[in-house]
């Protein structure tokens, strides 16, 4: 893609301009450029390509989309589940659907993968695809498409997904240590993302997926009651957020109770999550720590500052780019790996 021809330099110039200083004509131009680019591929890498199945399975993307829609219409919380499933896949062995394999010591059984969901959506889409295009569409590509559709269905941006991934032949619970933890300080988060070739800016952008995410009380309740030596709460939690979080997760309550990671607008893919981080209202410790590091704080502020005006246009522009980058991690293409007949089993 010729970036100069498509107006990317102009768009990036606008996105670095404070909204308050823009003229009406500049805002209109920004909307036009953004609309024209949002559904185009902003990154083309690792041997993947847009329209990979156009000739041998032209309905592939539509089948995945309709399947995700069916489950989403029945339970909207499946959207963050699918997004997390794709993320957890890519950070272990690359984006090769290794997280989908079932078995006593498979990746999905690791403690780090506790609570991941959405397997039935992927299995359903795969079953339909095998009926019309047997042995063609990989489970890894279905995961990447489902994650994109989940974001779109919750009001977030859509984008063209480069395809052509093949499924891996290794799935081990011991490899899941590469996944970020809810208690990781920024230094550890930075190390884990850098190991996947992702920058600090991309770290913050991708964590923004928590705008539609959920977690269990067990993963953050320690912040609310016994965080310090004197038994007090994590001091980075704002006084206004603490009572709300304690009401959701009482000290002797159910540790598996699900809580939205963005209490302001849990079902909408927007930038209020970043505002929560800025204001001391993040649920997970790892999210709140992003405000305490100079580099990640700058990225959080750049998104949080866009709550007004153009409704998070900067985040809506950068999130697809970061997702395409993440979904290209250590992909298998060509003759590598396999195309599974069932996503939960090696051939």
What residues are annotated to the active site? 88
Count of beta carbons in the 10 Å neighbourhood of residue 330: 15
| Total residues belonging to the chain | 347
Measured in Å, how far apart are the chain's first and last C-alpha atoms?
Answer: 36
Place of tokens 């800016």: 201
φ/ψ of residue 124, rounded to 5? -65, -50
Count of beta carbons in the 10 Å neighbourhood of residue 339: 17
Which residues are registered as beta bridge partners of 166? 332
Which residue spans within 239-318 are E strands per DSSP?
Answer: 258-260
Place of tokens 């083309």: 44
Q: For residues 272 and 283, what is the distance between their CA atoms, to the nearest angstrom? A: 13
Question: CA nearest 162: which of 88, 51, 263, 272?
Answer: 51
Q: For residues 293 and 304, what is the distance between their CA atoms, to the nearest angstrom? A: 16
Longest dimension (CA), the chain: 65
Half-sphere exposure (CA, 13 Å, Cβ side) for 48?
A: 29
Q: For residues 104 and 89, what is the distance between their CA atoms, to the nearest angstrom? A: 17
Are 169 and 346 in contact, with CB atoms under 8 Å apart? yes
Continuous segment of H or E residues that includes residue 34? helix 24-38
Question: CA nearest 71: which of 121, 114, 30?
Answer: 121
Which residue spans within the chain are E strands per DSSP?
Answer: 214-216, 258-260
Q: For residues 347 and 345, what is the distance between their CA atoms, to the nearest angstrom? A: 6
């Amino acid at each position: 893609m010729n970036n100069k021809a498509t107006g990317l330099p102009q768009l990036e110039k606008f996105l670095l301009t404070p909204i308050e200083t823009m003229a009406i004509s500049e805002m209109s131009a920004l909307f036009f450029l953004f609309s024209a680019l949002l559904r185009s591929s902003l990154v083309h890498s690792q041997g993947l390509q847009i329209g990979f199945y156009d000739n041998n399975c032209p309905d592939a993307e539509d089948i995945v989309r309709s399947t995700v829609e069916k489950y989403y219409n029945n339970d909207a919380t499946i959207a963050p589940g699918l997004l997390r499933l794709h993320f957890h896949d890519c950070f272990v062995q690359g984006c090769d659907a290794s997280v989908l394999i079932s078995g006593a010591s498979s990746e999905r059984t690791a403690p780090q993968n506790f609570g991941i969901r959405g397997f039935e959506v992927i299995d359903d889409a795969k079953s339909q695809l095998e009926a019309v295009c047997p042995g063609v569409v990989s489970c890894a590509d279905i995961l990447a498409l489902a994650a994109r559709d989940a974001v779109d269905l919750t009001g977030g941006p859509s984008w063209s997904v480069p395809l052509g991934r093949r499924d891996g032949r290794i799935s081990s619970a011991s490899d899941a240590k590469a996944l970020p933890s809810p208690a990781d300080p920024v230094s550890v988060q930075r190390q884990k993302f850098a190991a996947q070739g992702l920058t600090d800016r991309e770290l913050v952008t991708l964590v923004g997926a928590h705008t539609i995410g959920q977690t269990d009380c067990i993963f953050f309740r320690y912040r609310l009651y016994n965080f310090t030596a004197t038994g007090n709460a994590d001091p980075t939690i704002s006084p206004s957020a603490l009572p709300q979080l304690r009401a959701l997760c009482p000290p002797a309550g159910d540790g598996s109770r699900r809580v939205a990671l963005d209490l302001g607008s849990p079902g909408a893919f927007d930038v209020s999550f970043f505002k929560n981080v800025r204001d001391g209202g993040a649920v997970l410790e790892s999210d709140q720590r992003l405000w305490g590091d100079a580099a990640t704080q700058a990225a959080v502020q750049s998104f949080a500052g866009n709550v007004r005006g153009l409704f998070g246009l900067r985040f809506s522009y950068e999130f697809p780019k970061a997702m395409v980058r993440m979904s290209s991690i250590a992909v298998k293409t060509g003759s590598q790996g396999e195309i599974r007949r069932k996503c939960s089993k090696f051939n």
